[in-house]
């Protein structure tokens, strides 16, 4: 177990806010649901998924008979243009922006629950420092061509900057190797998983304390280390009351 950042930060939220992050296959949902059941014995807690879940949509399209594989290739091709220096065109930029708004709406719902004093445990968390699939801005080209693409890129970046200012009390980072992730998620694209795994260590979450965990360890070992770190956060809020 390795904790990066301040283990005791000044309490600013109305209730604890814990984020679980990691690439696909790292066990975020499994770990999150187990920790949720435990946290709910400590205080009222809600589990919020803050991802866009566009990967689920893409995989569903790819499984469609006859046209699925072709449609999936076209989506990947068009999405990759957003990472070019000039960026995507107006239509693709608009689609990516709308999908980012899905995350914003989920984030706003989480904030409403949090303001009521409900502890929050999240699967994924928006960050503005590393554009791309690890919960960062989807319009990653810094010099897109066309007024609409430029406007949407700036607007999306502003939304991610705003969301990332709401710093979690603790980030639980589940680290995993590519081979294990592919075994757990055989329906995922190799290149996508590879990029996510390489991006995970780069995420800083505006200086939030980060608990580094090896998700290839037995589940109960991972959960025990996470519960110890979360207990410290819960204790801080109990001291404030």
Q: What is the pLDDT of residues 2-37, one digit of tens each?
A: 666 654 455 578 999 999 999 999 999 999 999 999
Dist. CA 81–CA 68, nearest whole Å: 20
- Please determine, for residue 130, whether its predicted confidence score (pLDDT) is greater than 70: yes
Give the pLDDT mean for 148-162: 94
Global pTM value: 0.84
Q: What is the pLDDT of residues 39-58, one digit of tens each?
A: 999 999 999 999 985 544 34
- Report the candidate in 93, 74, 91 with the shortest Cα–Cα distance to residue 83: 93
Expressed in percent and rounded to 5, the helix, strand and coil fractions of the chain are 50, 10, 35
Q: What is the pLDDT of residues 211-220, one digit of tens each?
A: 999 999 999 9
Q: Predicted confidence band at 210 (pLDDT cuts at 50, 70, 90)?
A: very high
Residue 141: per-residue pLDDT: 79
Percent of the chain with pLDDT over 90: 64
Dist. CA 72–CA 62, nearest whole Å: 5
Residue 30: per-residue pLDDT: 97
The rounded mean pLDDT for the chain is 85
């Amino acid at each position: 177990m390795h904790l990066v950042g301040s283990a005791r930060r000044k309490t600013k939220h109305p209730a604890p806010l814990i984020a679980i992050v990691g690439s696909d296959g790292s066990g975020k949902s499994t770990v999150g649901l187990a920790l949720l059941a435990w946290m709910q014995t400590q205080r009222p807690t809600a589990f919020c998924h803050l991802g866009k879940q566009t990967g689920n949509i893409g995989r569903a399209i790819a499984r469609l008979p006859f046209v699925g594989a072709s449609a999936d290739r076209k989506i990947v091709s068009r999405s990759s243009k957003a990472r070019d220096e000039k960026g995507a065109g107006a239509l693709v930029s608009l689609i990516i922006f709308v999908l980012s708004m899905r995350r914003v709406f989920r984030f706003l719902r989480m904030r409403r629950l949090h303001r009521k004093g409900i502890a929050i445990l999240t699967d994924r968390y928006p960050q503005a420092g590393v554009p791309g699939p690890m919960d960062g801005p989807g319009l990653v080209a810094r010099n897109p061509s066309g007024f609409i693409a430029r406007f949407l890129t700036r607007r999306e970046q502003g939304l991610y900057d705003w969301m990332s200012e709401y710093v979690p009390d603790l980030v639980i980072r589940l680290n995993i190797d590519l081979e294990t992730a592919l075994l757990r998620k055989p329906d995922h694209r190799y290149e996508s998983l590879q990029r996510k795994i390489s991006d995970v260590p780069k995420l800083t979450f505006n200086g939030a304390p980060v608990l580094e965990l090896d998700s290839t360890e037995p589940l109960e070992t991972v959960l025990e280390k996470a519960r110890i770190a979360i207990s410290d956060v819960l204790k801080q809020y109990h001291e404030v009351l």
